[in-house]
C-alpha cells in the first residue's frame, strides 16, 4: 500500500513539474512491445522514481567560485568600461555584462539584451528570462549557480538581431568570459548564439539536439526562450536538449 502511495505521489510530482514548465500535455511517444521489453529490462537494474534531477544541484555545482575567476571577471568588466567600440553603444541604457557563479559548471549564452535587460543591466530578466529561469530550476540548479551571458552586451535598437560587425566587435568579451569560467557544458540560446559559437550558417532547427564543441567545451544549441514564448509547442524539444545536458554533466 505504501509503495502504491509513493508511486501516485511520484506521478503527481512529475505532472506538476511538466505543468510548471508550461506544458498542457505529456510527451508520450508510442513504443512497440519489443521496445517496451528492452526498456523494462534496462530499467529494472537501476530505476528509482524521483522528481527530475534533484541531485544534480548538490553534486555537480561548484558553489563557491574561486576568487581568481571572480577577480578575472571583474577585471574584464573594468576593461570593457563605458564601451563605445560598436554602434550598439548609441542606443543602450546599460551594458549587460552577464551574471552568475564565476565557477559555474553550466553556462547559458543568448543573443543580446532586450528592453528589460537594458533597463536592469541584467541578462534574461524579461518574460523570456523567466522562462529560462524555470528551465534552469527544472534542470536542478538555482539561477545563481549557473552563469548567463549574451553574444553582444548592448541592446540592439527595436530588438533587431545584432549585425555581423557588432557581433565581431563584442565577441571577444564573451569568449574571455567562457575562458575564465571554463564551464563543463555551454547551452547556446537561439540562432545567433549557436551560429556564432559554432561558426556555421546552419539553421538552429537543424543544429539543436546534438552536442558541438566550443574551445573544447561541449556546446548544446537550443531554441531561444523568446522563440518558445511564440512557439510553446517546441518547449518539448528544449526540454529534450536540457535532459541531454543534464546527462552530460553527470558524466563529467
Range 75-104, binding ligand SF4 (CB under 6 A): 80, 83, 85-86, 88-89, 95
Q: Which of residues 152 and 242 has its CB atom nearest to ligand SF4 in the complex?
A: 152
Q: Which of residues 103 and 156 has its CB atom nearest to ligand SF4 in the complex?
A: 156
Q: Which of residues 153 and 235 has its CB atom nearest to ligand SF4 in the complex?
A: 153
Site string for ligand SF4, 138-177 (x = CB under 6 A): --------------xxx-----------x--xx-------
Nearest distance from residue 95's CB to ligand SF4, in Å? 5
Q: Which of residues 124 and 141 has its CB atom nearest to ligand SF4 in the complex?
A: 124
Q: How many CB atoms lie within 10 A of CB 26?
A: 11
- 21 sits near ligand SF4 (criterion: CB under 6 A): no
Burial of 46 (0-12, 13-18, 19+ CB in 10 A): exposed
Q: Smallest Cα–Cα separation from 10: which of 59, 47, 62, 65?
A: 47
Nearest distance from residue 204's CB to ligand SF4, in Å? 21
DSSP, res 226: H
Q: Which of residues 80 and 121 has its CB atom nearest to ligand SF4 in the complex?
A: 80
Nearest distance from residue 175's CB to ligand SF4, in Å? 12
Per-residue buried b or exposed e for 122-138, using 16+ beta carbons within 10 Å of the residue's own CB = bbbbbebbebbbebbeb
Q: Which of residues 138 and 153 has its CB atom nearest to ligand SF4 in the complex?
A: 153
Q: Which of residues 77 and 184 has its CB atom nearest to ligand SF4 in the complex?
A: 77
Rounded distance, CA 134 to CA 128, Å?
10
Rounded distance, CA 99 to CA 108, Å?
10
- Say how many residues touch ligand SF4, by CB under 6 A: 13
Nearest distance from residue 82's CB to ligand SF4, in Å? 9
Nearest distance from residue 91's CB to ligand SF4, in Å? 10
Measure the N-to-C terminal CA separation of the chain; round to a whole number of Å. Answer: 39
Nearest distance from residue 74's CB to ligand SF4, in Å? 16
26: left (phi over 0), alpha (psi -120 to 50) or beta: beta
Stated as kind and residue range, the H or E segment containing 76 is helix 67-80
DSSP readout, 8-44? HHHHHHHHHHHHHTT-SS-------HHHHHHHHHHHH
Nearest distance from residue 167's CB to ligand SF4, in Å? 9
Binding stretches for ligand SF4 (CB under 6 A): 80, 83, 85-86, 88-89, 95, 152-154, 166, 169-170
Amino acid at each position: 500500500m505504501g509503495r502504491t502511495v509513493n508511486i501516485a505521489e511520484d506521478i503527481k510530482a512529475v505532472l506538476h513539474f511538466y505543468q510548471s514548465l508550461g506544458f498542457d500535455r505529456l510527451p508520450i511517444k508510442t513504443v512497440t512491445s519489443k521496445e517496451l521489453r528492452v526498456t523494462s529490462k534496462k530499467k529494472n537494474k537501476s530505476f528509482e522514481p524521483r522528481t527530475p534531477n534533484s541531485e544534480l544541484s548538490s553534486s555537480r555545482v561548484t558553489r563557491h567560485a574561486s576568487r581568481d575567476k571572480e577577480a578575472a571577471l571583474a577585471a574584464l568588466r573594468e576593461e570593457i568600461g563605458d564601451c563605445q567600440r560598436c554602434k550598439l553603444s548609441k542606443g543602450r541604457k546599460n551594458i549587460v555584462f552577464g551574471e552568475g557563479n564565476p565557477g559555474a559548471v553550466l553556462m547559458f549564452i543568448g543573443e543580446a539584451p532586450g528592453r528589460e535587460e537594458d533597463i536592469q543591466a541584467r541578462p534574461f530578466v524579461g518574460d523570456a528570462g523567466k522562462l529560462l529561469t524555470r528551465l534552469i530550476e527544472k534542470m536542478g540548479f538555482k539561477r545563481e549557480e549557473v552563469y548567463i551571458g549574451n553574444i553582444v552586451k548592448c541592446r540592439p535598437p527595436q530588438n533587431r538581431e545584432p549585425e555581423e560587425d557588432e557581433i565581431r566587435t563584442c565577441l571577444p568579451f564573451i569568449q574571455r568570459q567562457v575562458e575564465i569560467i571554463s564551464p563543463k557544458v555551454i547551452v547556446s540560446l537561439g540562432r545567433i548564439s549557436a551560429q556564432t559559437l559554432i561558426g556555421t550558417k546552419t539553421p538552429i532547427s537543424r543544429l539543436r539536439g546534438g552536442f558541438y564543441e566550443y574551445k573544447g567545451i561541449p556546446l548544446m544549441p537550443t531554441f531561444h526562450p523568446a522563440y518558445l514564448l511564440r512557439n510553446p509547442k517546441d518547449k518539448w524539444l528544449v526540454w529534450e536538449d536540457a535532459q541531454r545536458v543534464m546527462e552530460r554533466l553527470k558524466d563529467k
